[in-house]
Chain A
Amino acid sequence: MQKQREDKMIYFDNAASSFPKPITVSKAMIRAVNVYGANPGRSGHFLSCMAEKEVFSCRNALADMFNTESENIIFTANCTASINLALKGFLKPKSEVLISDMEHNAVVRPLEKMKDVFVKQVEIDLYDDEKTVENFKNVITNKTSMIAITACSNVIGKITPIEKIGKLCKENNIKFLVDAAQLGGVMPIDIKKCSIDFLALAPHKSLFGVQGLGVLVLNDKIKLDTLIEGGTGTNSESPLMPDFPPERYEAGTIATPAIVALKAGISFIKERGILYIKEYENNLALYTFNLLKDIDAILYTKKIDDTFSGVLPFNIKNATPNLVSDYLDKNGIMTRAGYHCAYPTHKKIGSEKDGAVRLSFTVFNTKEQINVLIKKLVSLSRDIL
């Protein structure tokens, strides 16, 4: 029964965690566990060095992907930990931070906890990037020390104009934190071109890595306060953390199997081509958007253009998102209903009552799968509602 269900399963919850992964990802991970499962950067013996070389190779692949140096790649526990490190490691009391009205709780909650930091919310215009930049420009003051925004909404799929906002940051000497949980692996991001000081990544989403790992990409000149302290395999005679990256921010043993899995995920993206991936996912979203319109579903964007990713929220009239998602689940289609840890976005798009059903695609999804989804939604409306 379980096997049958798995064979027919359609997975549209990739914004929460991508699935399936390329087969090379699990192979790399198994090899790390079975062949060189030693602690990297600690012992100096053959297996420890082998593990460290694999870790370093992943740092290099990420540095190449986001245009920085390998030592500026920091491995953390997850994307949320990366964002916490950037916010709490950089912001001082009385700092002023600008965020958007589409932020995930990974940004909202750490800032809420920092009672002595002033936060202003700025409106993202879903259809006019120039207007969005203007909105930020209008609220910058000489007290603004950081802009912290999502690169792509995990609810509505809107890609924010990070290059233009980065330029604004540079002109005003403001640090720029970008939450790229949904965009890393979907679109090229050059941290120098976009003037990004901190780029937070979720390897288990569109980078096709596995859960249990985060990445923070740092600008060359940034030195943050540490949030956790401990062993690093360097300067052990000192009670202080090293003052250089990445070890300064990587106290304790890092997740080698997840790191080598990420390297395999990056190789997969390179082979497919990141621009191809973006276009493919965008096309699936557009295809679904049009079909959902045909069946009179409730949609939250006027259009899907290339400033949107492969994430699409919807609702069915007279049904709660949970009812729809549960019905789809019973029919082998995985979606996510609710607020998606981003209530401000639901308020913005008008789905704050119950949230929405979210579809999110990767290159492993097909139009045939979407056709099945639409048929099931028609059945739901006809037979249940």
Chain B
Amino acid sequence: METEYIVCSSITYALKGQDILQRYGISSSVVKPPKLSVGCGYSLAVDARIKDTVLNILKAGGIKLAKTARG
């Protein structure tokens, strides 16, 4: 399974995003993406196959996102 790293603008938004995804039964983990250059950024690691669904849910939940990348 490939992992998609969705970089959030802050740890607060990453944890809030994780909570929102959990409400939809989608598991994720909050990590510093190992292969990405995001400085101090935190990301949500999710199953890459559902990337678009996850992005839609997060945007609808008001989560501020920086960028996404396949890890």
Residues of A with Cβ closer than 8 Å to B? 40-42, 44, 49, 52-53, 56, 59-60, 69-71, 232-237, 242, 244, 246-247
Chain B neighbourhood of A42, CB < 8 A: 40
**Do A242 and B10 touch across chains, with their CB atoms under 8 A apart?**
yes
Q: Is B30 an interface residue (CB 8 A)?
A: yes
Residues 37 to 66 of chain B near chain A (Cβ within 8 Å): 39-42, 62, 64
Alpha-carbon distance A316/B6, docked complex (angstroms): 66
**Do A44 and B64 touch across chains, with their CB atoms under 8 A apart?**
no
Chain B neighbourhood of A53, CB < 8 A: 15
**Do B16 and A56 touch across chains, with their CB atoms under 8 A apart?**
yes
What are 26 A-B contacts defined by CB distance under 8 Å? A40-B11, A41-B10, A41-B11, A41-B12, A41-B42, A49-B30, A52-B11, A52-B15, A53-B15, A56-B11, A56-B15, A56-B16, A70-B16, A71-B12, A71-B13, A233-B10, A233-B11, A233-B40, A234-B9, A234-B11, A234-B41, A235-B39, A242-B10, A244-B9, A244-B10, A247-B10
Residue of B nearest to A247 (CB): B10
Alpha-carbon distance A71/B64, docked complex (angstroms): 11
**Do A44 and B42 touch across chains, with their CB atoms under 8 A apart?**
yes
Residues 1 to 18 of chain B near chain A (Cβ within 8 Å): 9-13, 15-16
Chain B neighbourhood of A242, CB < 8 A: 9-10
Residues of B with Cβ closer than 8 Å to A? 9-13, 15-16, 19, 30-32, 39-42, 62, 64
Q: Which of B15, B32, B40 contacts A235 (CB 8 A)?
A: B40
Expressed in whole angstroms, the minimum distance between the Cβ of B64 and any Cβ of chain A is 6
Alpha-carbon distance A242/B62, docked complex (angstroms): 17
Chain A neighbourhood of B12, CB < 8 A: 41, 56, 59, 70-71, 246-247
Chain B neighbourhood of A40, CB < 8 A: 11
Chain A neighbourhood of B62, CB < 8 A: 69
Expressed in whole angstroms, the minimum distance between the Cβ of A43 and any Cβ of chain B is 8
Expressed in whole angstroms, the minimum distance between the Cβ of B14 and any Cβ of chain A is 9
Contact A236-B39, Cβ < 8 Å, known A56-B16, A69-B62, A244-B64: yes
List the 8 closest A-B pairs by CB distance, nearest first: A44-B32, A41-B11, A56-B15, A236-B40, A234-B10, A247-B10, A236-B39, A237-B39
Chain B neighbourhood of A52, CB < 8 A: 11, 15
